[in-house]
Structure 1
Amino acid sequence: MTVKLFYKDVYLTSFETTIIKKDYDEFHRPYVLLNETAFYPTGGGQPHDTGEINNINVLDVVEVDGELRHYVDSLPLDENKALCCINWERRFDHMQQHAGQHILSAAFENTYGYKTISFHLGKDVCTIDLGISAINEIELNQIEAECNSIIRGNKPIITKWITEKELSEYTLRKELSVRDHIRLVIIPDFDYNGCGGTHPNSTGEVSSLKIVSWEKHKSHIRIQFVCGNRVLGLLHDKNKVIMELTNKLNAPQERMIEAADRLLENNKELHSKIEELTSQLIQYEAKSLSEKGQLINGVKLISTIYNHRSIKELQNLAREVVAKGNDQIVILISDNHDKLQLVIARSEEVNVNLQLLLNEVLPAINGKGGGKPSFVQGGGEELITSAELLQQIHECYNKQK
């Protein structure tokens, strides 16, 4: 078995060893096995390390059937010697996030009895799911403050291998998933937990912890957080946004919410005014359309083709047109590049089932639609031109009459 150097020295960033096997997996991905390794494999909620073996990129590290496989860009040319280096920035980030998770989960359980039921160490943010259905901001602020107090206290983070018989000497935060090769991660007088991940030697190296957000996830509460260098990255990104908004809103940070509220209110008023003017325009347009049309068997058939009209505008316009007469059918089509949309409406007194009419023409555009006998709408692909579609509607209407 490969000797796991990351358990002996978590700060080891380069090492020399021998290659004991190189092969391809069932997906023809090349991998090597090393006599000993400092590359941490994916497991326990923590992602794998990356780095290089003989200047060849290590893409993934996975334990498969007892083999600790290092997936690489290509197989090393050297059969025996392996010069290895770890991507330390990635490793240390994972150490900070994982230790921060221990601190956060322990704080929730020690203070409120809220148990952590899952953990995910993501590329940008980390999450824990708490086995509760609700939480409030006061609780979160208190927990965040407690976590950062533990971090500033620079308490030691101790890793220890024990036997199952020795378990009774410790009060663990959660039940162990293994009974052999038990590894504890201990923050004295604060947290005792079984864990196979990598962590720094002290809480101070976590640097800081920030709860970013929280939400209801299924029946639990999901907490998003970041630690260490990610907090600085988050602060940098948010400060950049604030500076840009300060210029755009012409307001200092402390008055930004007020400026945004004012902008939203103005936008709401403008939107209302646009809707009012659009409604007036549609009424004028409907009046103009209702004065046109072709009289067929005592029914005025009004039809027109537009470019890039929304289905909502077509619907509103059709309603206005048929409201202006007792003997009208209106057919409105919008040509939207590669899609066609249509609305057909009739006066209540006209005895035509528009659902049947729509169902006859939709196959020509591979379309979908629906409605009621007096008002239908639909859309589909531009397999024929809008003029050809209108012609088909006219022909189907004439057949019904």
Structure 2
Amino acid sequence: MNNRLYYDDPYLHTFEASVLKWGTEPDGTPYVVLDRTAFYPTGGGQPCDLGELGGIRVIDVVEVDGDIRHRLEAPLPQERQQIAGQIDWPRRFDHMQQHAGQHILSASFVEVLGAETVAFHLGRDYVTIDVRLDELSIQQAEQVEALANRIVLENRPIEARFVTDAELALMPLCKQPTVSENIRVVIIPDFDYNPCGGTHPARTGEVGPIKIIGWERHRGNIRLTFLCGWRALADYSRKHLLLRELTRTLSTGEPELAEQAQRLVAEREQLKAALEEKETQLLEGEAQSLLAQTVPLSDVRLVKAVWAGRSMQQLQQLARLVTAQAADAVCLFAAEGDKLQILFARGEQVALPMNQLLKDTLPLIDGKGGGNPALAQGGGAPILPAEAVLAHACRLLEESIRV
């Protein structure tokens, strides 16, 4: 493992190496293999390092059959035998903070609740662990978080090294290694002994604050989302600005903010209910007005109307109100806008199928729709005026009645 410089010094920013192999992935991405590298490859729940090799951007780093492939944005000239590398240090240190923070948080769960971590994912924005728990209370989460941050503030050393079988046998490991040789253990003395191949800072103080920001049930366990270090501080700053803006907008202090928000939500629901009631009353009045203008068609009363910018939901409500008041009514409604919407409905005494009438009308507007014999709706391009479309439907309706 001597060619993996990130094991010797995770703080190494730059290095020089010899190119051992040039290659191309099946998707055409060029890559090189070096005699030594400071680039950490994706693995163990930790994303890879990014950076540059010889001025060419490294876009991915993976291990394939023991080789660490540095996938490049552009091919590296084969005459370049010696090459200088530079890793993206802010990305590397962020991963060091998050990964070490995960060790500390997972060990805190074991210490406080006897709950082991069964999965870990270090994402671009958030970090998650799956903890073997049926449920987690706010009080329990606070206890675990408090212990984790106490370990951080104590600034304990973090030692990461390869160990012998004899040393391994004496260590109180939090989990068994996934490999049988070259076993590397990350040690926080008297707290956590974790087989791990990732990169970590030298002391817990460098991890910075550890903050649990949420959890949920996931496949029989509890999945926690948390942030460490600079990520946690950025999250705090973002939420503090949001909180300040909310207190200014609502003209209230932070302690009263939740109560004020609840009050506003309650008022909104009351206003919404009152508005819906008034809208229903208006629609009922409009339905009566439409019925007063019906056109007799054999033993059917035809109600035909066109509106601009009306929603399909309003057309449905009007049709239901009309047909509820007049069982012998047939509604032919349309709403003009960017899209022409049409709705056909019938009362209980009418046997004509509205879905068939819609099917025979939609081709005029290259439309799509569906429904049932009592109510059908659809929409299409405003190729023809709505009045012309409804006139066509009316003729089809007359033909059906004569038959």
- Same fold by TM-score greater than 0.5: yes
Q: Which stretch has the larger CA shift, 7-16 or 167-176?
A: 167-176
1:316-348 C-alpha deviation (Å, 9 max, x unpaired) = 11122223334211122223413x433322221
Who is 2:100 aligned against? 99
- Distance in 1 of aligned mates of 2:331 and 2:325: 11
Partner of 2:19, secondary structure, is strand
- Distance in 2 of aligned mates of 1:356 and 1:196: 67
What amino acid is aligned across from residue 377 of structure 1 in structure 2?
A
User: Where in structure 2 are the equivalents of 1:54-69 lying within 5 Å?
Assistant: 54-69=54-69
Q: Which stretch has the larger CA shift, 206-215 or 326-335?
A: 326-335
- State the Cα distance separating 1:236 from its structure 2 match: 0.6
What amino acid is aligned across from residue 304 of structure 2 in structure 1?
S
Q: Which stretch has the larger CA shift, 340-349 or 103-112?
A: 340-349
- Distance in 2 of aligned mates of 1:165 and 1:264: 63
Partner of 1:40, secondary structure, is coil
Partner of 1:181, secondary structure, is coil
Q: Is the 8 A contact 2:23 2:31 kept in 1?
A: yes
Q: Which stretch has the larger CA shift, 360-369 or 314-323?
A: 360-369
1:291-339 C-alpha deviation (Å, 9 max, x unpaired) = 123221121111222233222211111122223334211122223413x
Who is 1:319 aligned against? 320
Q: Unaligned 5+ residue runs, structure 2?
A: none
- Distance in 2 of aligned mates of 1:140 and 1:73: 43
1:344–1:218 CA distance, 2 compared to 1 (3 A): farther
Who is 1:42 aligned against? 42
Q: Is the 8 A contact 1:129 1:223 kept in 2?
A: yes
User: Where in structure 2 are the equivalents of 1:205-354 lying within 5 Å?
Assistant: 205-338=206-339, 340-354=340-354
What amino acid is aligned across from residue 10 of structure 1 in structure 2?
P
1:21-62 C-alpha deviation (Å, 9 max, x unpaired) = 223211111212222110111110101111111222111111
Q: Which stretch has the larger CA shift, 240-249 or 317-326?
A: 317-326
- Distance in 2 of aligned mates of 1:111 and 1:255: 33
Partner of 1:148, secondary structure, is helix
Q: Which stretch has the larger CA shift, 10-19 or 356-365?
A: 356-365
1:255-300 C-alpha deviation (Å, 9 max, x unpaired) = 2122222322232232222212211221221122111232211211
Q: Is the 8 A contact 2:172 2:193 kept in 1?
A: yes
Q: Unaligned 5+ residue runs, structure 1?
A: none
1:382 and 2:381 aligned? yes
Q: Which stretch has the larger CA shift, 76-85 or 273-282?
A: 76-85
Who is 2:18 aligned against? 18
- Distance in 1 of aligned mates of 2:247 and 2:284: 42
What amino acid is aligned across from residue 301 of structure 1 in structure 2?
L
Q: Is the 8 A contact 1:213 1:223 kept in 2?
A: yes
1:286–1:258 CA distance, 2 compared to 1 (3 A): same
Q: Is the 8 A contact 1:355 1:370 kept in 2?
A: yes
1:336–1:170 CA distance, 2 compared to 1 (3 A): farther
1:388–1:62 CA distance, 2 compared to 1 (3 A): farther
What amino acid is aligned across from residue 208 of structure 2 in structure 1?
S
Q: Is the 8 A contact 2:173 2:195 kept in 1?
A: yes
Who is 2:126 aligned against? 125
Who is 1:72 aligned against? 72
1:196-231 C-alpha deviation (Å, 9 max, x unpaired) = 100011111111100011112232211000001111
- State the Cα distance separating 1:393 from its structure 2 match: 2.6
CA RMSD of aligned residues (A): 2.0
Q: Is the 8 A contact 1:18 1:81 kept in 2?
A: yes
- State the Cα distance separating 1:164 from its structure 2 match: 4.4
Q: Is the 8 A contact 2:355 2:376 kept in 1?
A: no
User: Where in structure 2 are the equivalents of 1:127-142 lying within 5 Å?
Assistant: 127-142=128-143
What amino acid is aligned across from residue 22 of structure 1 in structure 2?
W
- Distance in 2 of aligned mates of 1:85 and 1:281: 70
- Distance in 2 of aligned mates of 1:162 and 1:2: 14
- Distance in 1 of aligned mates of 2:308 and 2:81: 70
Who is 2:147 aligned against? 146
- Distance in 1 of aligned mates of 2:210 and 2:392: 66
1:81 and 2:82 aligned? yes
- State the Cα distance separating 1:139 from its structure 2 match: 0.6
- Distance in 2 of aligned mates of 1:48 and 1:3: 16
Q: Which stretch has the larger CA shift, 205-214 or 11-20?
A: 11-20
